[in-house]
Structure 1
Amino acid sequence: MTESATRQLPRGRHGLPRETVVAAQRDRILAAMAEAMAENGYVGTPVAAVIKRAGVSRETFYEQFRSKEDCFEAAYERAAELMLTGILAATGAEFDGETRAERMERLLGAYLEALAAQPAYARVFLVEVYAVGPEAIARRTHLQETFVAMVADVLGAESESQRFACQTLVAALSSMVTARIAVGDPDGLRELRGPLLDLVRRSGNLFGDIVVED
Structure 2
Amino acid sequence: MDTTSDESDVPRITEGIFFTTPPKLPRGPHRLSREEVLTTHRERLMISFTELVAANGYSDAGVREIVERSSVSRSAFYDCFDSKESCAEAAYGRFISVLVDRMMSHLVHRSTQDVFRVLSTYFSALQSDLVVARAFQVEMDSAGSLTRVRRRTALRGVAELLHAELRRHAQDDPDLDPDLSIDALVGIVYAVRQLASDMLDTEVEPNLEAVVPRLAQWLDNSIHRSRPGGDTVH
Range of TM-score over shorter length = 0.7 to 0.9
User: Aligned residue for 1:95?
Assistant: 109
Give deviations 1:64-115, integer Å, cap 9, x for gaps: 11111111111111111121222233x15x333x3x1x11121111111222
Q: Find the structure with the greater CA-based Rg.
A: 2
Q: Residues 188 and 153 (structure 1 numbering): CA distance in 2 closer, same or farther, change over 3 Å?
A: farther
Higher RCO (C-alpha 8 Å, min separation 6): 1
What is the deviation of 1:6?
Answer: 4.7
Equivalent position to 1:48, from 64, 72, 75: 64
Indicate if the aligned counterparts of 2:127 and 2:209 stay in contact, CA closer than 8 A: yes
Q: Residues 24 and 40 (structure 1 numbering): CA distance in 2 closer, same or farther, change over 3 Å?
A: same
What is the deviation of 1:129?
Answer: 2.6
What is the deviation of 1:186?
Answer: 6.2
User: Aligned residue for 1:192?
Assistant: 211
Q: How does 1:127-142 map to 2 (within 5 A)?
A: 127-142=138-153
What is the deviation of 1:167?
Answer: 2.1
User: Aligned residue for 1:12?
Assistant: 28
1:111 equivalenced with 2:122 (yes/no): yes
Residue 191 of structure 1: SS of its match in structure 2?
Answer: helix
Instruction: For 1:15, give the aligned amino acid.
Output: R
1:78 equivalenced with 2:94 (yes/no): yes
Q: How does 1:32-43 map to 2 (within 5 A)?
A: 32-43=48-59
Residue 59 of structure 2: SS of its match in structure 1?
Answer: coil
Residue 12 of structure 1: SS of its match in structure 2?
Answer: coil
CA distance in 2, matches of 1:63, 1:74: 14
Instruction: For 1:165, give the aligned amino acid.
Output: A
CA distance in 1, matches of 2:45, 2:144: 21
User: Aligned residue for 2:9?
Assistant: none
User: Aligned residue for 1:176?
Assistant: 195
% identical aligned pairs: 27
Structure that is richer in helix per residue: 1
Give deviations 1:160-187, integer Å, cap 9, x for gaps: x543322221121111011122246564
Q: TM-score of the superposition, structure 2-length normalised?
A: 0.77
Give deviations 1:32-55, integer Å, cap 9, x for gaps: 110110000001112111111111
What CA RMSD, in Å, does the superposition of the two structures yield over aligned residues? Answer: 2.4
Q: TM-score of the superposition, structure 1-length normalised?
A: 0.83
Q: Which runs of 5+ in 1 are unaligned?
A: none
How many corresponding residue pairs? 203
Give deviations 1:182-214, integer Å, cap 9, x for gaps: 2465642211211111212244326xxx974xx
Question: Which 10-residue stretch deviates more, 150-159 or 132-141?
Answer: 150-159
Q: Residues 16 and 151 (structure 1 numbering): CA distance in 2 closer, same or farther, change over 3 Å?
A: same
